[in-house]
């Protein structure tokens, strides 16, 4: 496992993070205990505490793991074939699909997203900054003027669509339309 910052994670820590992710999704943040994480990870509590001092630290590691997955799906979509607007739309759609696949199915999705905002703000901001820089670079390479503003517009617009639109197909169509309208193509 690799985090959003590209750091490799030791195997025991990886097992802990994977077990915790499953528990958080099933039981929510408040319903998950360090004891349950240790049990599901197959480690003793002292081993768990050797890697993570508390549940907040475990949750932050889960957030870093998820952001690492998000970074990988975005990069894969950006590296695909086709025009720049389509590749950026594909990356924005892939991000939303990953969130829906991982968190959306949980009955505790709202609680987990609130906890994510509370505890992982700096991590999320670094990821967001990387993502804006990456989208801007793609737009600039295609010769679009005001690349930063265009990047900020499509990223913010996709986030708004994800928060307000209905099903995944509708979100994907709206994000593709947004990117085509702003970026051309």
- pLDDT per position as a tens digit, 126-149: 999 999 999 999 999 999 989 999
Q: How far apart are CA 14 and CA 153, in angstroms?
A: 35
- What structural domains and CATH numbers belong to the chain? 11-183 (1.10.357.10)
Assess whether pLDDT exceeds 90 at residue 118.
no
Assess whether pLDDT exceeds 50 at residue 3.
no
Q: What is the mean pLDDT of residues 149-169?
A: 92
Instruction: Please give the mean pLDDT across all residues of the chain.
Output: 90
103 neighbors 25 (Cβ within 8 angstroms): yes
pTM for this structure?
Answer: 0.84
* pLDDT given for residue 185 in this prediction: 65
* pLDDT given for residue 135 in this prediction: 97
Cβ contacts of 59 within 8 Å, gap of 6 or more:
20, 24, 29, 115, 116, 119, 120
Closest CA to 79 of 69, 70, 91: 91
106: how many CB neighbours lie within 10 A of its CB? 16
* pLDDT given for residue 6 in this prediction: 53
């Amino acid at each position: 496992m690799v985090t959003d910052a590209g750091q490799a994670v030791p195997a025991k820590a990886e097992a802990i993070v994977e077990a915790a992710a499953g528990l958080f999704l099933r039981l929510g943040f408040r319903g998950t205990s360090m004891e349950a994480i240790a049990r599901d990870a197959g480690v003793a509590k002292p081993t768990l505490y050797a890697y993570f001092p508390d549940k907040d630290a475990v949750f932050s590691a889960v957030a870093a793991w998820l952001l690492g997955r998000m970074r990988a799906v975005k990069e894969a979509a950006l590296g695909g074939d086709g025009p720049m607007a389509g590749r950026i739309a594909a990356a924005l759609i892939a991000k939303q699909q990953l969130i829906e696949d991982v968190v959306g199915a949980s009955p505790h999705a709202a609680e987990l997203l609130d906890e994510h905002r509370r505890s992982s703000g700096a991590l999320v901001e670094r990821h967001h900054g990387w993502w804006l820089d990456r989208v801007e670079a793609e737009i600039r390479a295609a010769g679009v003027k005001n690349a930063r503003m265009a990047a900020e517009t499509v990223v913010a617009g996709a986030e708004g669509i994800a928060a307000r639109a209905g099903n995944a197909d509708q979100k994907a169509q709206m994000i593709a339309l947004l990117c085509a309208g702003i970026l051309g193509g």
